[in-house]
Structure 1
Amino acid sequence: MSQLDGDTQIPDAGPFHEDEQDLDEKYPNRPHNHSPTLLFHDLLTDLFNPLNDNKKKPAAGPARRKVGPHGPSSLNPQERRRDIIQRFISRWRRDVGDDIYPAFRLIVPDKDRDRAMYGLKEKVIGKLLVKIMKIDKNSEDGFNLLNWKLPGQSASSRMAGDFAGRCYEVLSRRPMRTDVGDMRIEEVNERLDQLSSASKEDQQLPILAEFYRRMNPEELMWLIRIILRQMKVGATERTFFDVWHPDAERLFSISSSLRRVCWELHDPNIRLEGDERGVSLMQCFQPQLAQFQMHSFDKMVQRMRGTEEDPTFWIEEKLDGERMQLHMETDDSVEGGKRFCFWSRKAKDYTYLYGNGFYDRNGSLTRHLKDAFVDGVDNIILDGEMITWDPEQDAPVPFGTLKSAALAEQRDPNAKGPRPLLRVFDILYLNDRELTLYTLRDRRQAIEKAIRPVHRRFEIHPYTEATTAAEIEPILRKVVEEASEGLVLKNPRSPYRLNERHDDWMKVKPEYMTEFGEALDLVIIGGYYGSGKRGGALSSYLCGLRVDDPNGSNSMKCYSFCKVGGGFTAADYANIRHHTDGKWKPWNPKKPPTEFIELAGGEASQKEKPDEWIRPDESVVICVKAASVSVSEEFRIGLTLRFPRFKKLRMDKDWKSALSVQEFLDLKSNVEKEQKEKQFTVDNSRRKRIKTSTKKPLTIAGYDEKDKRVEYAGPTGNIFDGLDFFIMTDTTAPKKQTKVQLEQLVKSNGGKIYQTNTATPDTLCIADRRTVKVASLQKSAKDIIIRPIWLFDCIKQNEVDSRHLSSFLLPLEPRHMFFTTEERQEEIADNVDVYNDSYARDVTPEELRTILDAAKPSQQELVDHDAEIKEISDLVFERGHEEGITPPGWLFRGLAIYFHASSESSSENTDQIRHFLARKLTEFGGADIVDDLGINDKSKKHIHKSTTYLPTHVVVMDESKGEVSNIRKTLAQQHSSDRGLKVPYIVTVEWIEQSWKEKTLLDEDRMFAPISWF
């Protein structure tokens, strides 16, 4: 420990600190600087601030020559950006030396894999700063730090939503120093290493306090951005790498090591040799990624189609897990002779979880791989997806349970619960030979010859070979029916492209739903403050479904249903603010608004807590369209919309005429029925999925479908004498039992069975899965719901406990509860000790092991954020829809746009420029530009069986040009001959310009009337 001042101590850097001598041994040729590193302030003045200024839009008017420190220049923003970076690198080489690694760790902090995650987010940093500055958290500055998304009580509104900017505002009013700070870059890195290993507040506080004493407010603002890894300086790591060395990006792709990029490529004149440019054993690489496409299947197939002799492409199911690379090499020092390493897509080392050898006690996977490799395989690198598999259901478990399943497998390799399963779909290295330049077809053959699948532990991911676009739709429908994410199309003739998204791999996901009509009319019941551009104002809204009171009273309840943030223009926000001004009320999580909770169904523990809430009768109705409906625990109704998007404000409707819960459920039920009637039959023989919404046929307790008695060979007695039960679902723990078998078990032990919870006042509700009926009961918050495991525990305890002359019921424990009302939570929690050890029941060996593990002191574990587990494109795209802000490069993705050239020769240069710029904007935003309307006889042969058609949008310059009627006539003629075609929207250039300006896709109806169904 090193002294900070007085009794305050800073923790050592811990396991992430490396001795200089060790580094010299590991990197004998690494460069050494001849002088101390630059001041941290120089990083701001020479790099961060100039880059930040460069990304700002230039002032209107004629182009002006820029005057820099070396005279005037007329560089464009891209050239200027490279010039700024080059000047900083040149200064570093001149004044410091060739080792730029200390600076790069701060310039691109999200690429530094040698420093662990800090475990600090905005709220925690805000609390620490409040303590360091010794201010009242309820003061104006304290409030602004802890509620950084909200408009400040007197702070500049432009800083709302920008946490680092908000910190700068507060720090500027109470700085420890106003002059330039004295901390050098190397010292900042040392303190950040210490901060990354600090897991408790009393360790983090002195480190941030030292930064506060030795940095001015501007320096602290950039330091906070580094800690949050949210730089946003207008330059990506690729730009920095490219300026540093021509091979830097390549080396980072094959090693994921910022340190290697800086140390091995410190001389731009020394290039990587051939054998240094490929992947290496036990070196994490950056994997190939799939392009996201929502174009027509024909267009996607055209992009990857080969010659007429080989027009095939492959279709794989997109797995819902974590991308994982496996490295294995022969090593006689390891028991079993093979050493393993596992890395995620973001280069997080998971070897501790899955095992470093066949006999690793922590090897939740490797202990099962003793026979997984054929004789003669000495080393190998495999690429695949790690998923969680439930052996009882013989189906994958939704994403999010992988780590807990691996830890359970570590404790008990023979456990029958969910386990990790690695699905391998590619190979990059085999027996000292790199395979990335071989075709996918050849690489797949190598996989099949090199490994032996281990059932439900280690398998080769299957694929379907296809030659036409028509073969995609049935498979997509099938995987969607089975609750999968979608498909990946692959070109079997393609090489493996490190750290690239390419058309050789394309993701396919369902497009926006049309089954529910144009849109759903929902009531706004809450609002969330935004960040960045939309900071300081409500940028997304919590929407609800109206609840009809069965008694006919004028109920005002609205159940939360989805969060909408995409599709709004500045005018839309202003319009909503105008109609709801003065009616919003803040949500205090410590003292939730009882009025709102009552209106939302009386559930005090609802998960979605908006920043502001509004009564339904004082709110507005909006039209929303979405991609699909999915199950969600986050919203009151138990369902939600995926990728919801604002369509328009319905001022012609009040909250009483908005969509109700029952109307939506009826609509959903009718849609599902129609889909089944349409040939939507799915072969479930390949795998079974847990169905949460499929309605089971009515059954009579104790009988199967053939009216035969179900004999239950379980214990009998009178333990449940006098008790009434309502069994709602089956169970899989501790053993699989159907609903009928559970009912028979209760009856054989003296209990009575009813098919409703209102049969008697004291009916006990039993459930182990969230069905519509269970969710409805849970949302009423009137009755507790008990898991079936309580039945088994009561019977088992009475069998083994002979001390009692009569049967007795076990008191309820937290493990027995599926749902607990607020007033019963404390009572039930008192039936176990602090380690969940029951006071009245004998625990099993497995429970005892869990209790003992919980009793051990453990260090706080640093885990990756969701962004480092889930594929970044899916996360950002979904969050963009939720928050209403989509990255520019993805704004128009999924659209196929035809730009109509007017037959009238226009001499207006402005129109031509607007048309050209609009086309470039859509291309940059990920759209596919098509050359024709795709309606000729030749193209019809390819597209009439597909579910998505080209184009999705037709862009014209102006409605008054006289061209629209001809386009409508052509499309109408085509539609009359083939009613399977979807009619594209006809929009003006203004729709593209305004969508780009608002950074969200606007509803086409408002910009130009579309072609409707005829």
Structure 2
Amino acid sequence: MDVNDPPSAEPSVAENVTFGDLVTLLEKIQRTHGNAKKREILAKFIQHWRDAHHNLHKGKKTTDSFYPAMRLLLPHLERERLAYGIKEHMLARLLIDVLCLGKDSADASKLMHYKAVKATQFGAGDFANIAYFVLKNRCPEKGTLTIADVNTSLDAIAVNNSSKKKELVRKNMMHLLRNLAALEQKWLIRMILKDLKIGLSQQSIFAVFHPDADEMYNVNNSLEKVCIQLHDPNLRSHEIAISVFSPFSPMLGEFGNPDKISKVMAGKQFFIETKFDGERMLLHKQKGEYKYFSRSGTDYSKYFGCTKYEGSLSQYIHNCFHEEINSCILDGEMLGYHSATKTFGSKADHYDIKARDLGEYQACYFVFDILLYNDLVLSNRPLQERVHFLKKVFQPIDGRIHISEFKIANSRDACIDALNNAIDNREEGIMVKDCESIYRPSARRGGWFKLKPEYVDGLMDQLDVLIVGGFWGIGHRGGLMSHFLCAVALPTPTGKKPSVFWSFCKVGSGYTKKELIDFNKKLADYWQPFDRKNPPSSIILASGFKEQPDAWIEPSKSCIVQVKAAEIVSSGRFKTGYTLRFPRVEKIREDKPWFECMTTEDLDDLRQKSGGKLANRLLRRKKAITQERPKVGANFQAADTSQVKQESDMLCNKEICVYNGSKECSKAELEKLIVKFGGKVVQNPDSITNFVLADKVTVRVNNLVKANSHDIVKVSWFLKCAQAFQLFPWTPQDMIHASQGTVTHFQKDFDQFGDSYTQPSTIADLKQVFNNIDQSGFPRLTSSEIADVEEEYFQDESPYGLFRFCRVYIDNKLDPLVATTQIPHSPLDLLALELRYFGASIEPILTNNVSHVIIDKGDLSRLYFFKDIRRQQTQKFHIISSQWIKDWTHPPPDLAELALPSPTPTLVWTAPWSSSHEIKAAAAAAATAAPAAAAPVA
């Protein structure tokens, strides 16, 4: 297939839209902040496309659609259909060839070593961005290809790659590279690598195109069908057809544990099945033809058999189907069956169930659901009805095709027993399914739950391993070490620290993005590029460097992480000969020094003890606790109010329950006051009780809070009303707990911390509001986070972040290295407040953290003193006059609307800047250069 092959006869919109137009869209989306704004930009582009489609085809039936653009917006969805066989290094070689770069030139080195740790100024780990910097001065400003042209070339590359026609692949790539601008080539590279990095998810793009697009794609896994069938956004697909030989994503189970099951099911019946450790597979059958689709929609029929005469499975199960079955779609798990031992293998046994030669195993299919029975679609029927159809479809054959066994249960204890049996039998876990659940393709929240030992705290062994290597991330993790190579130590004599570590596993999950960013900052100064020709002597990898990190770290500079996994399995990719299955980080062991990590001996002991499985104990049932009901104490009994005379109607028609009293007024005295003001006292609140009074939060009060049925008001509010003979409206400060109705009322008049929108606040009110802020755990923004907010929402509109990254020492002390020797009545004291007002951090003493030193413009006698201190420090600071700060914060009236000129040398003794952006940039650079623990990074 060649790029010059003639196009199809049917005209298309893609032939009239340039690739540059699509690139302009992608650039605009990438630069825009906020998902809603990004979607709005994409929606306009799609609408223009639909308008052009209408003008081109005049309402005629056509297969032309938005698909040519959609496949470029979602290139990862073409992964199986279009295997380009092109990675970063091949692209680098092609670019070097096309641009005639010297192999030893700086630009060629940037392309070939795009992951180099020191290439951060070009965006380390992002090949497309680095390629753009190399190409931008060597390419035309505008390309000549349309979207249709680019797709034709990409199709040709995929076809020729699968046919092993490397020369034609190269020819098609050359055609693209020579006819596109540098910016267009950057995005083309991202499309080939199938990672756009525009900040819009697959679901968001589908939602903009059509409300039913995501759901339809989950059913048929065809981007082209989605774009053709849902071209009109006003036509809804209310019933999604499941049809034979059309792949779709199966229904999934969400993570669960016995407590969650008990809460969600709430006494309803559910099925408990074994969770099989194989490959999820959907079997489509029509007469004598078979199709097998994986969870991702990949067709594996050529391995298992397309007809009744071939494959590792179809030829053995064809005769088991009942005669009346013309077509069906089954959902199940493909396992390896060992006929000699009559046991089932697992993924840890290192065989590929999709291979033609399974060795001592044979393919066996465990069926647990049915979606189509002849022409009857069953997906909208409850599970308990669907499973009855299974027995009508086929007769099971041992070792070839089975129906999954299940038991009906309705309690937490049943889940615990089943999970413990799975642990005893060394199985992966169990599945719990709502009997009433319908089949929802690709859904993970449809009433199916998977329970594994690693999902339950306390059941798994946890391993303390040392991080020795890192791998650059892609997508939203680009520019970060997103995965880590972990190792165990070789044993050493007692008292000696280990010096050699063997690679053991690679871990890349278990932490949030914020935790990953913080962890990257912690280790940022210690990463070193991994040189295969000169590897570190302290870190030993498997022969052939099968898991070679992008960078390594000296063990003594690293830290231990606690890892949890399903089991230990054999692997030739790591020096230990073993690795972890499904590992994830539980926590960073700040309490353990680097040399106390697990050793190879510890690993062998654990593996032999558990047989590889890391579920080390069973889950226990909760025992019912019975105890004698206590008698009501005298302080909880009702007060004798028979002699109390009513003196007011303030609480007329109000029923009040008093839970406890205060130091000023006991429970009995409060109840007498309520009767005195015309109210009714009860000992237990019910649906007609107006509110509850309490001073202390006791167990009884906590139980009422959990019930969320009543307002619980502080005794202090009632005493204030009693003293004034007047009922005051409640405020959030008066409440121990507010019911939903009261919360809704408060939201209209108060903010989340209890500050009134309409009433003036007293000093006491403000103290309470600030106390509420502290107790709420409301996060306090760091300087870096405040700067991000200013940059995104205010930019040049607000001056209050002018000195955001500056860590300032003010020369108002006799000794800058001691915080207590203050100069009395220093003229710079007011300047300190002003600097804080404009975002600066004021440092009490002069340390390496300081980025700027401010001295009085009227007294320069200490200038050389500070210069001498600066010469002795490893991290330099700027010495600036107080007048320069005032010129920035109080510009002359005639210059108020203009950018200030650069300060003169008489005002600044280092690094003059000409704009507030340059102040921030220089301050951020100075802060970054300081020790990691001392300065935030922008």
TM-score normalized with structure 2 length = 0.59
Check if 1:496 corresponds to 2:443.
no
Give the AA of the match of 1:464: K
Check if 1:349 corresponds to 2:299.
yes
Alpha-carbon distance in structure 2 between the residues aligned to 1:346 and 1:312? 31
Alpha-carbon distance in structure 2 between the residues aligned to 1:668 and 1:404? 23
For the 8 Å contact 1:113–1:257, the answer to whether it is kept is no
For the 8 Å contact 2:461–2:564, the answer to whether it is kept is no
Would the alpha carbon gap of residues 515 and 282 (structure 1) be closer, same or farther in structure 2, given more than 3 Å must change?
Answer: closer
How far did 1:374 drift?
A: 1.2
Match of 1:168 in 2: 132
Check if 1:380 corresponds to 2:380.
no
Match of 1:426 in 2: 369
For the 8 Å contact 1:113–1:258, the answer to whether it is kept is no
Equivalent residue pairs, number:
637
Would the alpha carbon gap of residues 540 and 429 (structure 1) be closer, same or farther in structure 2, given more than 3 Å must change?
Answer: closer
Alpha-carbon distance in structure 2 between the residues aligned to 1:516 and 1:458? 33
Alpha-carbon distance in structure 2 between the residues aligned to 1:960 and 1:623? 36
Counterpart selection for 2:241 from 257, 266, 278: 278
Alpha-carbon distance in structure 2 between the residues aligned to 1:666 and 1:114? 42
Check if 1:477 corresponds to 2:420.
yes
Give the AA of the match of 2:387: R
Alpha-carbon distance in structure 1 between the residues aligned to 2:520 and 2:567? 26
Would the alpha carbon gap of residues 416 and 188 (structure 1) be closer, same or farther in structure 2, given more than 3 Å must change?
Answer: closer
How far did 1:256 drift?
A: 2.5
Counterpart selection for 1:660 from 554, 576, 599: 599
For the 8 Å contact 1:286–1:498, the answer to whether it is kept is yes
TM-score normalized with structure 1 length = 0.55
How far did 1:40 drift?
A: 0.9
How far did 1:224 drift?
A: 1.7
For the 8 Å contact 1:521–1:621, the answer to whether it is kept is no
Give the AA of the match of 1:575: K
How far did 1:129 drift?
A: 2.8
Paired residues for 1:456-475 under 5 Å: 456-475=399-418
Paired residues for 1:580-979 under 5 Å: 580=526, 585-589=528-532, 591-593=533-535, 596=537, 599-600=538-539, 604-605=543-544, 607-616=546-555, 618-633=556-571, 634-641=573-580, 642-645=582-585, 647-648=587-588, 650=590, 653=593, 655=595, 657-663=596-602
Check if 1:299 corresponds to 2:246.
no
Counterpart selection for 1:340 from 276, 280, 290: 290
Counterpart selection for 1:102 from 68, 71, 94: 68
For the 8 Å contact 1:388–1:419, the answer to whether it is kept is yes
For the 8 Å contact 1:423–1:459, the answer to whether it is kept is yes
Q: Percent same amino acid among aligned pairs?
A: 28
How far did 1:146 drift?
A: 2.8
Alpha-carbon distance in structure 2 between the residues aligned to 1:233 and 1:225? 10
Instruction: Give the 3-state SS of the residue equivalent to 2:520 in structure 1.
Output: helix
Would the alpha carbon gap of residues 530 and 258 (structure 1) be closer, same or farther in structure 2, given more than 3 Å must change?
Answer: closer
For the 8 Å contact 2:485–2:503, the answer to whether it is kept is yes
Structure possessing the higher relative contact order (Cα contacts under 8 Å, 6 or more residues apart) = 1
Alpha-carbon distance in structure 2 between the residues aligned to 1:510 and 1:959? 44
Counterpart selection for 2:250 from 287, 292, 316: 287
Give the AA of the match of 1:128: L
Counterpart selection for 1:321 from 270, 274, 278: 278
Alpha-carbon distance in structure 1 between the residues aligned to 2:615 and 2:20? 65
Would the alpha carbon gap of residues 669 and 212 (structure 1) be closer, same or farther in structure 2, given more than 3 Å must change?
Answer: closer
Check if 1:528 corresponds to 2:528.
no
Would the alpha carbon gap of residues 407 and 653 (structure 1) be closer, same or farther in structure 2, given more than 3 Å must change?
Answer: closer
Give the AA of the match of 1:653: P
Match of 2:221 in 1: 256
How far did 1:216 drift?
A: 0.6
Residues 443-479 of structure 1: per-residue CA shift (max 9 Å, x gap): 1110112111121112112223221112112322333
Give the AA of the match of 1:610: P
How far did 1:212 drift?
A: 0.8
Alpha-carbon distance in structure 2 between the residues aligned to 1:552 and 1:457? 57
For the 8 Å contact 1:958–1:988, the answer to whether it is kept is no
Match of 2:740 in 1: none
Q: 459-468 or 282-291: which moved more?
A: 282-291
How far did 1:329 drift?
A: 1.7
Check if 1:559 corresponds to 2:502.
yes
Would the alpha carbon gap of residues 649 and 52 (structure 1) be closer, same or farther in structure 2, given more than 3 Å must change?
Answer: same
Alpha-carbon distance in structure 2 between the residues aligned to 1:541 and 1:112? 29
Alpha-carbon distance in structure 2 between the residues aligned to 1:478 and 1:209? 60
Instruction: Give the 3-state SS of the residue equivalent to 1:99 in structure 2.
Output: coil
Would the alpha carbon gap of residues 329 and 907 (structure 1) be closer, same or farther in structure 2, given more than 3 Å must change?
Answer: same
Check if 1:548 corresponds to 2:491.
yes
Alpha-carbon distance in structure 1 between the residues aligned to 2:599 and 2:350? 37
How far did 1:88 drift?
A: 4.6
Match of 2:190 in 1: 225
For the 8 Å contact 1:342–1:351, the answer to whether it is kept is yes
For the 8 Å contact 2:469–2:553, the answer to whether it is kept is yes
Give the AA of the match of 1:185: I
Counterpart selection for 2:19 from 33, 36, 40: 40
Alpha-carbon distance in structure 2 between the residues aligned to 1:207 and 1:302? 58
Would the alpha carbon gap of residues 546 and 514 (structure 1) be closer, same or farther in structure 2, given more than 3 Å must change?
Answer: farther
How far did 1:209 drift?
A: 0.8
Alpha-carbon distance in structure 2 between the residues aligned to 1:184 and 1:91? 15
For the 8 Å contact 1:902–1:963, the answer to whether it is kept is no
Would the alpha carbon gap of residues 991 and 561 (structure 1) be closer, same or farther in structure 2, given more than 3 Å must change?
Answer: farther
Instruction: Please report the RMSD computed on the Cα atoms of aligned residues, expressed in angstroms.
Output: 4.5
For the 8 Å contact 2:541–2:574, the answer to whether it is kept is no
For the 8 Å contact 1:113–1:347, the answer to whether it is kept is no
Match of 2:521 in 1: 574
Instruction: Give the 3-state SS of the residue equivalent to 2:491 in structure 1.
Output: coil
Would the alpha carbon gap of residues 672 and 539 (structure 1) be closer, same or farther in structure 2, given more than 3 Å must change?
Answer: same
Match of 2:912 in 1: none
Would the alpha carbon gap of residues 679 and 57 (structure 1) be closer, same or farther in structure 2, given more than 3 Å must change?
Answer: closer
How far did 1:649 drift?
A: 5.8
Alpha-carbon distance in structure 1 between the residues aligned to 2:523 and 2:271? 48
Alpha-carbon distance in structure 2 between the residues aligned to 1:304 and 1:134? 67
Match of 1:818 in 2: none
Q: 80-89 or 463-472: which moved more?
A: 80-89
Residues 527-562 of structure 1: per-residue CA shift (max 9 Å, x gap): 333345554554544333332246998762222334
Structure label with greater radius of gyration: 2
Give the AA of the match of 1:148: Y
Alpha-carbon distance in structure 2 between the residues aligned to 1:902 and 1:607? 64
Would the alpha carbon gap of residues 906 and 536 (structure 1) be closer, same or farther in structure 2, given more than 3 Å must change?
Answer: farther
For the 8 Å contact 1:150–1:535, the answer to whether it is kept is no
Give the AA of the match of 2:472: Y
Paired residues for 1:68-79 under 5 Å: 79=40
Counterpart selection for 1:367 from 294, 315, 329: 315
Alpha-carbon distance in structure 2 between the residues aligned to 1:216 and 1:397? 53
Match of 1:49 in 2: 27
- Unpaired segments of 5 or more residues in structure 2? 59-63, 621-705, 715-729, 738-767, 787-938
Give the AA of the match of 2:16: T
Match of 1:196 in 2: 158
Give the AA of the match of 1:342: Y
